[in-house]
């Protein structure tokens, strides 16, 4: 059984998609052990409580600096024997020690096609605003492993959608979230089935059966 911790700062719709995927058996052999937020009001904490998952508010303002705050979360995760850390709309940056201690075991979901519209300052609605301002015709979502940079880790899954001519930030956010809610559970399922291998910057997805070997897993999306 893989023990998962979810770090979230906001609404928690990705958290909900993960909870649902575990409850329906799409993701097997995994449990969400704890949901941690830096924001007391984060609805993600409420979603955790509603699903009998421990919800922890760890107030970053009580710590001297970012490193001390990260250390507190790290020790919480280690004491619980967490196998996989999922960032789901988590608006704090992990420090290098966190990234190193959980290397290959931290995932993030990002609302664009990395390496476009990502990095420092690109989060939440800002991503969609930048997408619309740029005039690009496609955007999408990315699930990636977290390394010491911001949105620079090896990419696990991506899916593109067309930007519509009448698109607004709200409509784009909603459409991209729908993609995220399918992509993130699939990435976690692959991790839990031990089908992900990181070779340099590339993530190799091992097929489930011989028949799937040719197509990889994109057919599962």
**Helix, strand or coil, per DSSP, at residue 15:** helix
As given in the structure block, the two tokens for residue 73 are 């979360």
Task: Report residue 196: phi and psi, to 5°.
Answer: -110, 130
Smallest separation (angstroms) from ligand GAR to the CB of 177: 6
Q: Is 109 in the site for ligand GAR (CB under 6 A)?
A: yes
88 sits near ligand GAR (criterion: CB under 6 A): yes
With binding defined as CB under 6 A, does residue 11 bind ligand GAR?
yes
Instruction: State residue 54 phi and psi, 5-degree precision.
Output: -60, 135
With CB under 6 A as the contact rule, the residue among 35, 38, 89, 175 that binds ligand GAR is 89
Sign of CA dihedral 140, 146, 148, 154: negative
Q: How far is it, in rounded angstroms, from Cα 58 to Cα 34?
A: 12
What six digits make up the tokens of 138? 């496609």
Candidates 11-19, 23-31, 131-139, 198-206; binding stretch for ligand GAR (CB under 6 A): 11-19
Q: Is residue 117 involved in binding ligand GAR (CB under 6 A)? A: no
Least distance CB 105 / ligand GAR (angstroms): 18
Sites of contact with ligand GAR (CB under 6 A): 8, 10-14, 88-89, 109-111, 123-124, 127, 177, 180
């Amino acid at each position: 059984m893989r023990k998962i911790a979810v770090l979230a700062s906001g609404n928690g719709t990705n958290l909900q998609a993960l909870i649902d995927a575990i409850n329906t058996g799409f993701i097997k052999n995994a449990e969400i052990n704890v949901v941690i937020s830096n924001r007391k009001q984060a609805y993600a904490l409420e979603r955790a409580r509603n699903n009998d998952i421990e919800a922890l508010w760890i107030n970053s303002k009580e710590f001297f600096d970012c490193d001390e705050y990260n250390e507190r979360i790290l020790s919480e995760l280690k004491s619980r024997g967490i196998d996989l850390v999922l960032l789901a709309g988590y608006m704090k940056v992990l420090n290098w020690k966190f990234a190193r201690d959980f290397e290959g075991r931290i995932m993030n979901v990002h609302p664009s096609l990395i390496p476009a519209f990502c990095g420092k300052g690109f989060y939440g609605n800002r991503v969609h605003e930048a997408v619309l301002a740029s005039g690009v015709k496609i955007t999408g979502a990315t699930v990636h492993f977290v390394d010491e940079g911001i949105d620079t880790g090896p990419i696990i899954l991506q899916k593109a959608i067309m930007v519509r001519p009448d698109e607004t930030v709200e409509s784009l956010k909603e459409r991209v979230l729908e993609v995220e809610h399918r992509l993130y559970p699939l990435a976690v399922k692959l991790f839990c089935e031990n089908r992900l291998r990181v070779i340099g910057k590339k993530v190799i997805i091992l097929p489930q059966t011989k028949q799937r070997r040719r197509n990889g897993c994109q057919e599962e999306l």
